[in-house]
Structure 1
Amino acid sequence: MFVEDLKSQLIDDPRFDILTLLEKREQERYGLHSKHMNEMMVRVLQTIGYDVGFRAGRGQYLWDHSGSRYLDLLSGWGVFALGRNHPTVREALSSVLGADLPNLVQMDVSVLSSLLAERLLEFVPFLDKVFFTNSGAETVEAAIKFARRTTGRPNIIYCDHAFHGLTYGALALNGDPVFREGFEPLLPGCVRIPFNDLAALEQALSGRDAAAFIVEPIQGKGVNIPDDLYLRGAQALCRKYGALFVADEIQTGLGRTGRFLAIEHWGVEPDMVLIAKALSGGHVPVGAVLTRKHIFEKVFNRMDRAVVHGSTFAKNDLAMAAGLATLEVIQSEDLVRKSAQNGARLLRAFEAMADRYELVHAVRGKGLMIGIEFGAPRSLKLKAAWSLLETFNAGLFCQLITIPLFKDHKILAQVAGHGSHTVKLLPALILNDADCDWIERSFDAVIADSHRVPGAVWSLGTTLADHAMKARVSR
């Protein structure tokens, strides 16, 4: 039916008005997705009440079909660091589209890609070369290949709870079994160690068969922050045993943590830095491996190996223009400083909540990457309610926070990972004071409600537990 409607639209209007087509089929949003795509995702949205049908996005805000405004604290898992539809990025893309540029000639080199590489290396001056990709996972895949080619070694070391992507090589470096189940065997030679454990890292490196150690400076799944000496120690150990030190900054980079790169908090200089997500400006997917010259030259070491690794759409003009515009906005709007400033304010507010509310166990974060961890309470009534909920599904309590935030306070947030007790904030870096007031007021109200047993929050918990039990029986 969709194809027939599409053909009809093309016949009736040779200009192909995509907005008219979109408006015409909007009422079928969830039905179409269930029929032709991921029905389980639609069922999740309907179960937790997130099926409001977002119709517009601008900056840090979303609007649903009824016109209600929401504050987005997910930002597309960090993609929309500039917010949605930033005018500078849109203007750059429109300019490229209107210029009839010779895009993706392949048997040529692109000026735009060279300019973006030059600009990135101005922000990361200890590295020398850039390799562009289409996504974060593809960036990780490139890093695996570069590390093995450079060192001649097979193994890649990664950490528990890590998330580096879902393609096969990246999935082999994923520390959460829920993503791996049913897809094994994965890439051989991938060695998992505990995060924040230098002794375990040294043991894994000591055999001198590791090509690289790849690590998120702050782990996205849980917002886990390393000890002050961990990353410096990891870099020193990699140098000692001849492995490459790779920082996955796909989520933490480009101002997210109050520095351009999160590694700047600890003064380390990895052999490779991986970025993606925010570099797109929220419009055109793009990723990049920033690396040392000797690594690049090991991979592309002869003319007959000039195309030994690549990607058809990498370096496309729209992605490169989006990246250049994004870096311009980050600098011109002083977003790194704003991230640090607003992040510090929110962390203080959440730390104060941790002092007032026994269900809040810890608050972690840097800049605008913040985790609020909930845990078992001390008081008997709350403890009984908590234990009952956890029996059905570990981590279910966090939905008692995120669902009322969404329904009652129009804040879009989610847990930091499967089975996690941490709610993660990953908002656009353009937050203002009114947004911070909105966040603080809303979280305080919802967390206060969660301490009332019986109460509306725990009634919701009963409903969610019932769904969890039915799903378990079904499996």
Structure 2
Amino acid sequence: MLKANLDVSEMFVEREAQRSTMHSRHLNEQLVRVLKTIGYDVGFQKGQGQYLYDRDGARYLDLLSGFGVFAIGRNHPTLRGALKSVLDSDMPNLVQLDVSTLAGILAERLLEYVPYLDKVFFANSGAETVEAAIKFARGATGRPGIVYCGHSYHGLTYGALSLTEDSNFRAGFEPLLPGCTAVPFNDLAALEQALSSREIAAFIVEPIQGKGVNMPSDEFLPGAAALCKKYGTIFIADEIQTGMGRTGRFLAVEHWNVEPDMVLLSKALSGGHVPVGALLTRKSIFDKIFNRMDRAVVHGSTFAKNDLAMAAGIATLEVIKAEKLVEAAAKRGAELRLALTRMVPGYELLKEVRGKGLMIGVEFGPPKSLRLKASWNVLESANKGLFCQLITVPLFKDHKILTQVAGHGLHTIKLLPPLTITEEDCAWIERAFDDVIAQSHKVPGAIWSLGKTLVDNAIRKSA
């Protein structure tokens, strides 16, 4: 007979040493090879707030936050308490021929932050929320077309991938969804040309693009909203990464005083524990999809309104409000951007620091001095964007900071920490970047020896 208390944490400890072997055998062997190549296979054992701890007990500052899901930090006690209360309550979860009380509460609280919208549809992930948005836009307008921006990222499911321009993700899976057209980010003339056909159901845009942390001009989002209104196109703000306080406002579009017809949320809404996505929209759009009783379930998702996901969302909103994390993101983000920006004049490889709140891009670029230029060109000829690994790997190994490159072939490192980081954490980041960037300007040096290793690996992969 199965024990009443199955101790999964004990199972984790017993099998931890076999994690790479199990993944190589049963899951993604290539990911294991990547982690070992760049020295990231340290065996994380614990997460608390903005920190991770490896098998030796060393503490790391997490500037990746699970691609943005841990806005309130890992294992927040309020979130854990909320989930435990659901598990201990014997709630009638997912009856399906019933309506969920917790879903009603979460929808009500989300709409308090976005009062110009009226209805919420829940899904299981960001990509699934994008899929719902495509269906809703087409169903509400009767039009086939969807316009998205170059350099965008909206997810990897079939419809969402059709709105994601990166060829590294699209290759091998085309042809994708018909009727999807890309226009350059920040190009209102190109957008108007696309919308003027009056065949476009929706324009979907990340207010700040995640791949590259590309910023809109002050005119772009308000102008896009006006064009959508002019041509009867639904304006969708994909706030899956930028929302929930990440940029120092609850929604990033608030920086530009824009009110979209749809807002997409996910990632941070989960609290990092139970996946959830939310599509917020106008009643006029929603009612065209669910317009009769026989169409009450014309779109849905089996697990979307499960009690654990709804409780995670409710608890996350409570933490964000109680701990004033939106305001904290604005303050800490401004301080960190200023500190990093002050380094730009001193380093020829460092080009720009940009972003809002705690969504920050640190961009590098070709140097002018001959010795550095020669080393840069060797890296770029082997693999475009490889230089950033010369920054992220030493940040991890030497300074215990986990971060990521902002996309394939890019020279930008993205900082996406929990909104709970402290003044001391920001000083840690500043010291680490200053040291690693300084080392990258020394040729020959340890960092460029790493570069040679990465170049050799890139050449072997392409052979």
Q: Normalized against structure 1, the TM-score is what?
A: 0.97
- The residue type paired with residue 269 of structure 1 is E
Provide the rounded CA distance (Å) in 2 between the counterparts of 1:95 and 1:373.
Answer: 44
Does 1:269 find its partner at 2:259? Answer: yes
Deviation of 1:138 (Å): 0.2
Structure 1 residues 35-434: aligned runs within 5 Å = 35-434=25-424
Provide the rounded CA distance (Å) in 2 between the counterparts of 1:167 and 1:156.
Answer: 16
Match of 1:6 in 2: none
Per-residue deviation, residues 327-363 of structure 1 (Å, max 9, x unmatched): 0110110000100000000110111111111101111
Provide the rounded CA distance (Å) in 1 between the counterparts of 2:340 and 2:378.
Answer: 26
Deviation of 1:14 (Å): 5.4
Provide the rounded CA distance (Å) in 1 between the counterparts of 2:126 and 2:8.
Answer: 29
- The residue type paired with residue 63 of structure 2 is L
For structure 1, list consecutive stretches of 5 or more residues without a partner in the other structure: 1-9
Provide the rounded CA distance (Å) in 1 between the counterparts of 2:422 and 2:178.
Answer: 47
Match of 1:443 in 2: 433
Provide the rounded CA distance (Å) in 1 between the counterparts of 2:403 and 2:8.
Answer: 30
SS of equivalent to 1:54: coil
Provide the rounded CA distance (Å) in 2 between the counterparts of 1:263 and 1:355.
Answer: 31
Per-residue deviation, residues 69-92 of structure 1 (Å, max 9, x unmatched): 000000000000000000000000
Per-residue deviation, residues 423-463 of structure 1 (Å, max 9, x unmatched): 00000000101100100000000000000011000000000
Deviation of 1:16 (Å): 2.3
Deviation of 1:15 (Å): 3.1
Deviation of 1:20 (Å): 1.9
- The residue type paired with residue 133 of structure 1 is A
- Residue 465 of structure 1: which of 437, 450, 455 is its match? 455
- The residue type paired with residue 422 of structure 2 is N
Deviation of 1:19 (Å): 1.8
- The residue type paired with residue 102 of structure 1 is P
Provide the rounded CA distance (Å) in 2 between the counterparts of 1:120 and 1:261.
Answer: 11
SS of equivalent to 1:290: strand
Provide the rounded CA distance (Å) in 2 between the counterparts of 1:411 and 1:16.
Answer: 34
SS of equivalent to 1:203: helix
Deviation of 1:469 (Å): 0.3
Aligned residues: 463
For structure 2, list consecutive stretches of 5 or more residues without a partner in the other structure: none
Structure 1 residues 8-27: aligned runs within 5 Å = 13=3, 15-27=5-17
SS of equivalent to 1:364: strand
Match of 1:7 in 2: none
Provide the rounded CA distance (Å) in 1 between the counterparts of 2:351 and 2:290.
Answer: 50
Provide the rounded CA distance (Å) in 2 between the counterparts of 1:14 and 1:471.
Answer: 49
Provide the rounded CA distance (Å) in 1 between the counterparts of 2:345 and 2:294.
Answer: 63
Provide the rounded CA distance (Å) in 1 between the counterparts of 2:44 and 2:460.
Answer: 29
Does 1:452 find its partner at 2:442? Answer: yes
SS of equivalent to 2:342: helix
Q: Normalized against structure 2, the TM-score is what?
A: 0.99
SS of equivalent to 2:457: helix
- The residue type paired with residue 200 of structure 1 is A
